[in-house]
Structure 1
Amino acid sequence: MDSSKHPGTHRHELHALSSLTRYLPVFIGVILAIPFSASVLKDELQTARRAWETGSELLGLYGGFGAIILPFLFLVTARLRRGRTRAIASATIQEDELVIAVSGARTLTIPLDRIRRGFSTPLPEGRVQLNVELQGGLTEGDRVVLELDREQAEPLVRRLVGVAPHFVLGRSSFGVGFSVFAASIGVGVYVANLILGSVFEAAAKLTVTAEEMSAWTLGMTVIAAGAVHAVLSLVMAPRAIVVGVDGLRLETLTGRSFIPYERIEQVFAIGWGIVIQHEGLTSFVFAPGADRETLGSVAVLANERIARFDRKEGSANGGQPQTVIRWKEALTSRLEGSTYRQATLSENDLADSIRVPGVPREYRIAAAMALSSRGNRIRIQEAAAATADERTRALLERIAEEEASEVAKAITGR
Structure 2
Amino acid sequence: MSYKIDGADLTWPTDAELAKVEEIRKNCADQIAAMPEKPRDVVGDIRVCRYLRFYSGDVAKASAAFAKYLQYWVDEKIHVLREGLMDLELKDFTKWLESVMSPYTPHFVPGFTTTQDGHFVIFTSPGSFKPNEFVSKRPACHTLENDLALIRVSLEYFMKQVDDNCYKRRRMCYAIKLIDCKELGNETLPVFVPEIRKFAQDNLGKIMSFYCEQDILLLVVNAPFMVRAITAFATTFMAKRQSNRIKVMGTATGSDVQNVLRAIGPASIFPPTLGGTRKAEDVPFLKPLLYQDESRVKKWMERSSAGNSHSGADPKPPPSANVSETADASASRTEQASGYERAEQPETLEPLPVVNLEDVGPPEDVQPESDMKVDIQEATATSGGWLCSCSAPC
Q: TM-score range by the shorter chain?
A: under 0.3
Between structure 1 and structure 2, the one with the greater Rg is: 1
TM-score, structure 1 as length reference: 0.22
Structure with greater strand percent: 1
TM-score, structure 2 as length reference: 0.23
Structure with greater helix percent: 1
